[in-house]
Amino acid sequence: MPVRLSPEIEVDAIGFDFDHTLGFDQQLELRFMLRYAAAAARRSGIAVDDDLEARAQALLMQARAGACSIDEAVAALLGQFISPEAARAESRRWRAEVVAAAPAWVRPLEGMRAGIARLEARGVPLAILTNGWSPLQEAKARAVGLAHLPILVSECIGVRKPAPGAFAALLDRLGTRAERTAYVGDDWQIDVLGARAAALPAVWVPEHAPSEEERRELPRRVLLIRSLEELAEESPERAPHRGRMMGEAPHPLAGWADELVCQRLRDFEERRIAALANPDDVEALHHVRTRARRLRAALEDLHEAYPHAGPMLRALKRLGRRTGAARDNDVLLERVERYCAAARGATREHLERMTRRLRQRRERLRKRALEAIESCLLLPGEGADT
């Protein structure tokens, strides 16, 4: 059934980009790459430098641009710390774990569900055309409740956006003509210009608000929207109630709570990776505990608006218990060393013996704390129990 998206755009079907258009994955691949790299470095006794994240990002960009496969990108990063064979084996394990984690990491874009439901209620054929690898992109679509939509993944169709062949595959799948099929995406070059080059009208839903100049100079048959909820807005009486999905009213603070928890989770994850990469850094353990406390406070305060906090809270409490002894020991050791430097005679001898004992204990406790930090994989939404 035709749908009018704007005075100049009427179409019979709509294709969608996935990442940052329908859902966002909170840098799932990058986070798991860093976790695997930190673990590999620790096992090999190699220190990780500050450039690790930049290198991982560069390798991911290469994979996304089609310069190498995702397995090659992950193996290249891990190959800095372990043998090429072990890196390839770890890369396979990484791939399986990332796909398994998708349901917990991927979140729908605001307004996505309402927009999709509204279009489906009007009988508009929809499909997803996404650059990426399989089966991760399919898992992401499932994670946000879009498993029922046809999905074309660049790895499977052998062509990536913005190449016209990718849009041709979408038209083939939908059985519609280019000028009667809109393509919705967040990326100006890949989605909007790619679609227009293939003669499809484009709907641009940018992650950040475009400048006044960009707004003024929008090409013909390009529609700018802020949220997918705006799609097919001219028939609100036929659409589900705004802000509702599947008959369920979200908590009024749900979006804000999700954003805050995700921000604190990212802070925690960054500190966790840094601690694993620098096992001898006393302060790194302290930073992990601080970020864990902040995340825990947010989860406890927002439990009504963030309903999946239970498993993460349990994992954080367990982490607190397992790392607490190491932190207490570090604090006491630092204090005793200070006293020792100023003491004389028998007092100094006594403090030196105590220092030696605390140092021996530190090794054992830090090992246990690092094991707890490594196994504390927090998945927003579910599955944090380890």
Residues interacting with Mg ion, by CB under 5 A? 17, 19-20, 186-187
Min CB(184)–Mg ion separation in Å: 10
Question: Can you read off the two tokens belonging to residue 229?
Answer: 């909820």
Rounded Cα–Cα distance for residues 228 and 109 (Å)? 8
Of 21 and 329, nearer to Mg ion (C-beta) is: 21
| Whether the Cβ atoms of residue 197 and residue 7 lie closer than 8 Å to each other | no
Min CB(318)–Mg ion separation in Å: 36
Of 187 and 229, nearer to Mg ion (C-beta) is: 187
> How would DSSP label each residue in 8-31?
TEEESEEEE--BTTTEE-TTHHHH
Min CB(193)–Mg ion separation in Å: 13
Of 162 and 311, nearer to Mg ion (C-beta) is: 162
Rounded Cα–Cα distance for residues 79 and 302 (Å)? 41
Say how many C-beta atoms besides its own lie within 10 A of residue 50's C-beta: 8
Of 167 and 268, nearer to Mg ion (C-beta) is: 167
Min CB(186)–Mg ion separation in Å: 4
Of 17 and 269, nearer to Mg ion (C-beta) is: 17
Strand-pair partners of 223: 203
Min CB(331)–Mg ion separation in Å: 46
Question: Can you read off the two tokens belonging to residue 331?
Answer: 């604090």
**Cα-Cα-Cα-Cα dihedral sign, residues 258, 268, 146, 129:** positive
For helices 52-64 and 70-78, the axis angle rounded to 10 degrees is 160
Bond before 135 cis per omega within 30 degrees? yes
Length of the chain: 386
Min CB(130)–Mg ion separation in Å: 8
Of 187 and 269, nearer to Mg ion (C-beta) is: 187
Rounded Cα–Cα distance for residues 91 and 69 (Å)? 11
CB-based contacts of 267: which residues, under 8 Å, 6+ apart? 291, 294, 295
SS3 245: strand
Nearest to 137 by CA among 25, 242, 58, 225: 25
Min CB(255)–Mg ion separation in Å: 20
Of 198 and 239, nearer to Mg ion (C-beta) is: 198
For residue 50, CA distances in Å to 82, 106, 275, 359 come to 18, 27, 12, 28
Of 111 and 383, nearer to Mg ion (C-beta) is: 111
Of 39 and 127, nearer to Mg ion (C-beta) is: 127
Rounded Cα–Cα distance for residues 71 and 63 (Å)? 9
Min CB(313)–Mg ion separation in Å: 32
Min CB(207)–Mg ion separation in Å: 8
The angle formed by the CA atoms of residues 65, 66 and 68, to the nearest 5 degrees, is 115
Rounded Cα–Cα distance for residues 133 and 151 (Å)? 12
